[in-house]
Amino acid sequence: MSTSIQYLLRRLGFYAIAAWAALTLNFFIPRMMPGDPASIIFARFRGKLNPEAMVALRETFGLTDEPLLGQYFTYLKNLLSGDLGISIAYFPQPVTEIISTALLWTIFLAGTSLIISFSLGTLLGTLAAWKRGGRLDSFLPPALAFFGAFPYFWLAMVALFTFGFGLGWFPLRHAYGDAVTPGFNLPFMIDAIYHAFLPALTMVMVSLGGWMLSMRNTMITTLGADYITFARAKGLPSKMVMLKYAARNAILPNFTGFGMALGFVLSGALLTEIIFSYPGQGYLLLEAVRAQDFPLMQGLFMTITLAVLGANWLVDIAILFLDPRTRR
């Protein structure tokens, strides 16, 4: 068991380094951008600039003339204490407050569609590989690949305007309706699922094919292994061979991909959110970039990165349970 803990700690160490790299990148990129946020605020105001007001505002945003390295350490120190600074676009709201609810919605939407797409894709892939050359195997992969070829947002646009705007079957925006109060109550939860349905559907449509194919392909390789032949020769029921012998082993690499895919799914979710006005991090990010809101941009990038890293770690733990080899 101690080796497992060692393994998890090693992974944790890696994620810590990855997080540090991301945070460092996160610090330097926005600072290389041209333009000064304080003057941008005033320019939006389209009025006369008052130099004294500028100086005062710059101080409030923590934009000092300190050397970059000094600013960098202050930044790291603030991060460790959970202080992401003050948003410029939503001045004077702290960034953490703006991000927190948005992050929950993004995780809900992206997580749900990822889980649906992963489990459905894996299941279909298993079936397709089991009955190789069958109807499922010859028809579904190209069809799904065709759907997967469309840009996420394009399908989202078409879906929104057909089923939302045209037919009126689904809501046009937001994560829940006006009539429900957010909280742990059934009407709210049902409403939230109802609102997430169409965005999640488009994301599942686009990503399903990938999961199915990779599962199908690993499954086919696994099915060629000796132990499968042996299990079949032993006369075990074919369903048992398929699920407990073949699929169980074939799912492992797919599962590693799950953690990796989270980053991509989040990216896709960000675009989908923008189309569906879903109150997640996607539109927030775009807004932050347009307003040159460094602190918000940094906060978003950081939370998304940490979410991906955290999910990867969870996948590591899951793999530990599923794959005995990691525990050796």
Partner 1 sequence: MATRKNDSILFRWIKGIIHNKKALSGSLLVLSFILIAAIGPYITVDPNAFLDTPLSPPSFSHWFGTTGQGQDVLAQTISGARQTLIVGFATGFFVVLIGALIGGISGFYGGKVDDVLSMIINIFLVMPGLPLMVILASWLPPGPLTLTGVLVITGWAWNARVIRSQMMALRDRDFVSAAIVSGERNIRIILIEIMPRMLSLLASSFIGASIYAIGAQVGLEFLGLGDVSTITWGTNLYWASNDLALLTGSWWTFVPTGICIAFVSFGLTLINFGIDEVTNPRLISERNWRKYLPKGKGNDGITPVIKTHA
Partner 2 sequence: MKDKTFKMFSFHCVHQYILKLSSAVLICFILIFNNCVQHEKTTGSPPFVISQEQVSSFVRNFNPLIPSGSSRWPTVSGIYEPLFIYNSMTGIYVPWLATGYEWKDGNLQLDVTIRENVTWSDGQPFTAYDVSYTFNLKKTNAALDPRASWGYLKSVEAINDHLVRFKFLRIFVPGLHALTEQSIIPKHIWENIDDPVKFTNPNPVATGPFTEILRFDHQIWELGRNPHYWQEGKPAVERLRFYAYPTNEQATIALINGEVDWAGNFIPAIDRVFVGRDPENHHYWFPRVGGSIFLYVNTTKQFLDQVEVRKAISLAINRELIVRVAMYDYTIPAHPTALADGLAPWRSPTATENGDWVEYDIERANEMLDNAGFKKGPNGIRLLPDGKELFFDISIVSGWSDWIRAAQVISQNLKLVGINTRVKTRDFGAWLSSMQNGEFDMGIAWTEKGPTPYRLYRGLMSSEFLKPVGETAEVNWHRFASDEVDSLCVAFEKTSDKEEIKQIIYRMQEIFVDNAPAIPLFAEPSWGQYNTKRFTNFPTEKNPYAQISPNYPPENLLVLVNVEPK
Within residues 52-91, the interface with partner 1 by CB under 8 A covers: none
Within the chain, residue ranges assigned H as helices are 2-32, 37-45, 51-60, 68-80, 95-130, 135-148, 152-159, 186-223, 226-233, 238-240, 248-276, 281-290, 294-322
- Binds partner 2 by CB under 8 A, chosen from 55, 76, 143, 145: 55
Q: Give residues with Cβ within 8 angstroms of 119, minimum separation 6.
A: none
- Binds partner 1 by CB under 8 A, chosen from 163, 188, 197, 264: 264
Q: How many Å is the Cα radius of gyration of the chain?
A: 24
Question: Tokens 């998304």 appear where?
Answer: 304
Query: Exposed, middle or buried: residue 262 (CB in 10 Å: 0-12, 13-18, 19+)?
Result: buried
Only segment of 9-17, 146-154, 220-228, 318-326 that touches partner 2 (CB under 8 A): 318-326
Q: How far is Cα 238 from Cα 223, in angstroms, rounded to an integer? A: 12
For residue 189, which of 303, 112, 271, 274 has the smallest C-alpha distance?
112
By the rule CB under 8 A, 228 interacts with partner 2:
no
Helix axes 95-130, 281-290, angle to 10 degrees: 130
State the binding partner of 279 from partner 1, partner 2, none, CB within 5 to 8 A by kind.
partner 2
Residues 158-187 touching partner 1, rule: CB under 8 A, are: 158, 161, 165
Nearest approach in angstroms of CB 321 to partner 1 is 13
By the rule CB under 8 A, 325 interacts with partner 2:
no
Nearest approach in angstroms of CB 161 to partner 2 is 9
Binding map of partner 1 across residues 104-143, x = CB under 8 A, - = no contact = -------------------------------------xx-
Binding map of partner 1 across residues 189-218, x = CB under 8 A, - = no contact = ------------------x-xxx-xx--xx
Residues 58-87 touching partner 2, rule: CB under 8 A, are: 60, 86
Which CB, 191 or 293, lies closer to partner 1?
293
Which CB, 63 or 252, lies closer to partner 1?
252
Which CB, 211 or 283, lies closer to partner 2?
283
Q: Is residue 289 within 8 Å of 297, Cβ to Cβ?
A: yes
For residue 305, which of 1, 29, 7, 2 has the smallest C-alpha distance?
29
Q: How many CA atoms lie within 13 A of 43 on its CB side?
A: 8
State the binding partner of 177 from partner 1, partner 2, none, CB within 5 to 8 A by kind.
partner 2
By the rule CB under 8 A, 50 interacts with partner 2:
yes
Q: Give residues with Cβ within 8 angstroms of 245, minimum separation 6.
A: 227, 228, 231, 236
Q: How far is Cα 143 from Cα 110, in angstroms, rounded to an integer? A: 23
Which CB, 98 or 261, lies closer to partner 1?
261
Nearest approach in angstroms of CB 188 to partner 1 is 29
Instruction: Give residues in contact with partner 2 (CB under 8 A).
Output: 33-37, 39-50, 52-53, 55-57, 60, 86, 89-93, 97-98, 101-102, 119, 165, 169, 172-180, 182, 187, 190, 193-194, 197, 243-244, 248, 274, 277, 279, 283-284, 287, 290, 292, 321-322, 324
